[in-house]
Amino acid sequence: MRAVIQRVLEASVVIEGVKKAEIGAGLLILLGIEHEDSEEDINWLSKKIANMRIFSDKDGVMNESILDHRARAIVVSQFTLHASTKKGNRPSYIKAAKPSVARPLYEKFVQTLERELGTRVGTGEFGADMKVQLINDGPVTIFIDSRDKE
């Protein structure tokens, strides 16, 4: 399971001209799921994101989490995070899980993150053509892969 975590001043997801989710300061999380991902990956990644100290404290040092700031999050499914560019110029998405596998894991991740944060998490719509807008704060952008656990 891969995630691109972006600390934002604001973010929104629009689908067919309708705003599906919107937050002020918080996290925009792009989530890529592969075939081998499991509930273990979900639990590890959601706990890691909830406790990651990437928000500034009163001294301007990144020393606080989304929990400390009581900020909100949006999670957007993004199979392209598993793109392989090894051969040629057209990315391969063979490692990305098929929708029948990815959708339930995505939904479970959202539920688990909501439990970790103690608040509702905004979402995109699985498989939809989405327009994602954000103002990256910092910018702070972090890539996490549950296979590497770095």
Domain that holds residue 38: 2-145
Question: What CATH number should be reported for the domain holding residue 141?
Answer: 3.50.80.10
- Catalytic residue check, 111: no
- Residue 98 has a pLDDT of 95
pLDDT at 134: 98
Catalytic residue among 78, 109, 112, 123: 78
Told to judge if 133 belongs to the known catalytic residues of this protein, a careful annotator would answer no
pLDDT of residue 150: 67
**What is the structure's pLDDT at 88?**
86
Largest Cα–Cα distance of the chain, in whole Å?
Answer: 48
Residue of 55, 79, 112, 123 with catalytic role: 79
Asked whether residue 150 is assigned to any structural domain, the reply reads no
Q: Check if 80 is active-site.
A: yes
Residues of the chain with pLDDT under 50: none
- Are the C-beta atoms of residues 73 and 13 closer than 8 Å to each other? no
Q: pTM, whole model, 2 decimals?
A: 0.95
Note whether residue 72 is domain-resident: yes
Total domains present in the chain:
1
In a domain, 57, yes or no: yes
CA distances from residue 45 to 19, 61, 87, 108 in whole angstroms, order as listed:
27, 23, 29, 12
Output the pLDDT for position 149. Answer: 75
Q: Provide the residue type at 28 as one letter.
A: L
Q: What is the rounded average pLDDT for all residues in the chain?
A: 95
Asked, for residue 90, whether it belongs to a domain, the answer is yes
